[in-house]
Amino acid sequence: MKLNKEILDNIKIGDAVTLTSERPSAWNDEGSMDEFLGSTQTIRDISQTLLYFTNTMTDRWSFRINQIVSVNSISIYETADMFPIY
């Protein structure tokens, strides 16, 4: 997973990231995470390939690196499911 490592090497706590606007297959099946589609969030913690945000509305969720479409307005890739995490 070279791309995920490159992303991890270039993000840090406090960075603003924008999540995909397309619903990833790994998200809650009942749509409980859908309110975060396309939203910009600030990173509060990074754990391996998972991100956690400062927004208290996201506290019960973790987000995968491949669900980011931009970091501080720098485009990474177009869709969340293009690069699955193994």
pTM for the complete prediction? 0.75
* Residue-range domains of the chain with CATH: 2-80 (2.30.30)
Please tell me the distance from the alpha carbon of residue 53 to that of residue 59, in angstroms, as a whole number.
Answer: 7
pLDDT per residue as tens digits for the range 27-39: 999 999 999 999 9
Regarding predicted confidence, which is higher, 13 or 10? Answer: 13
Asked if 81 and 23 count as a contact pair (C-beta separation under 8 A), the reply is no
pLDDT per residue as tens digits for the range 14-60: 999 999 999 998 899 999 999 999 999 999 999 888 999 999 999 99
Beta bridge partners of 45: 52
